[in-house]
Amino acid sequence: MDVGTILLLAIALAMDCFAVSITNGVALGRFHFVPIMKMALLFGFFQAFMPLIGWLAGVGFKEKIEAYDHWIALAVLVFLGVKMIRESRSDKEEGESQPALRWKTLTLLAIATSIDALATGLVFISETIPTFAFALTMIGLFSFALSVAGNLVGLYLGRHLPVNMELVGGLVLIGIGVKIFLEHTALLSTLFGI
């Protein structure tokens, strides 16, 4: 696999990190270095770790995890999305920011958004170890970088758009969960011919 293809794959895998991080930035309300770095590190780690698990386990594991990975992602993201929507409806003082997401919540988000990366490891079974190591590094770095960028975009949107961005963020999380579910169950291609 060439470098360009690996970089495109890394960007594609990091897009869910970017979208989910926007919701975190909205919830934070103001810049908090440590929570943003925690999220970015967890997202980068799990996006790189999941393909490694898929690669180590081989083809047999793919069939087992594919039977239920989309259900896990859907459940976690819908749960967190509904929680965010509920919090968006509670009365808050003007300018009050949300507390940082806890490690447990961040880890659940990181796992849910990286589950589809498990199968990516299978793509590299026939590649050399240095190529695979480079791919894992790029996947982790792009996921880290796009998570930081997503948080910053969320902070900006939360301050400058006259809409309840926390509500929008919750809907985005639910949308990502539904997208992963539809992609993995082939409903997307059945319904829309994609």
Q: Tell me the pLDDT tens digit for each residue of 6-22.
A: 898 888 888 888 888 88
Task: Identify the band that residue 174 occupies on the pLDDT scale cut at 50, 70 and 90.
Answer: confident
Distance of alpha carbon 104 from alpha carbon 163, whole angstroms? 28
| Residues 126-155, mean pLDDT to the nearest whole number | 92
Check if the beta carbon of residue 7 is closer than 8 Å to that of residue 133: no
State CA 127 to chain mean position distance: 26
Distances, alpha carbon 132 to alpha carbons 51, 63, 110, 189, in Å: 9, 21, 21, 30
pLDDT of residue 95: 46
Q: What's the DSSP call for residue 65?
A: H
Q: How confident is the model at residue 192 (pLDDT cuts 50, 70, 90)?
A: low
- Give tens-digit pLDDT for 53-97: 888 876 555 566 667 767 777 777 787 778 767 876 764 544 444
- Domain that residue 149 falls in: 3-192
Question: Quick one: residue 107, left, alpha or beta (phi over 0 = left, psi -120 to 50 = alpha)?
Answer: alpha
CB atoms within 10 A of CB 87: 15
Tell me what pLDDT residue 100 has.
54
23: exposed, middle or buried (Cβ count in 10 Å: 0-12, 13-18, 19+): buried
Mean pLDDT of the chain: 79
Number of structural domains, the chain? 1
Q: What pTM was computed for the model?
A: 0.70
